Amino acid sequence: MDLHAATWRKSSRSSGGGQSCVEVAVAPDSVAIRDSKNPRGPVHVISTEAFRDLIARIKRRELDC
């Protein structure tokens, strides 16, 4: 997946202080996820289905530490 021209969008749930910021870029069959504080760092690319599952699990608070 070529992400050079990707349009990144910051999560609406990112904290105002900038400590927990996540950005996503949507492609036809996948979603790229990165830390907005480190845009040149690693990018995780997952399927659209896996992203929907991740969001559902977050909303159900299944992943809270």
**Mean pLDDT computed over 22-40:** 91
Q: Under 8 Å CB-to-CB from 54, ≥6 apart: which residues?
A: 46
Longest alpha-carbon distance in the chain? 34
Q: What is the pLDDT of residues 34-57, one digit of tens each?
A: 998 898 999 999 999 999 999 999
Residue 46 lies in a domain: yes
Residue 3 forms part of a structural domain: no
Q: Is the pLDDT of residue 26 over 90?
A: yes
Q: 35 vs 7, 13, 44, 57, 60, CA distance in Å?
A: 14, 13, 10, 19, 22
Among residues 47, 55, 3, 53, the alpha carbon closest in space to that of 25 is found at 3
Q: How many domains is the chain partitioned into structurally?
A: 1
Q: Which residue has the higher pLDDT, 33 or 20?
A: 33
Structural domain for 44, as ranges: 9-59
Q: Is residue 40 part of a domain?
A: yes
| CA 4 to centroid of chain Cα atoms | 16
Please report whether residue 65 resides in a domain. no
**Mean pLDDT for the chain overall:** 87
Look at residue 19 and tell me whether its pLDDT is greater than 90. Answer: no
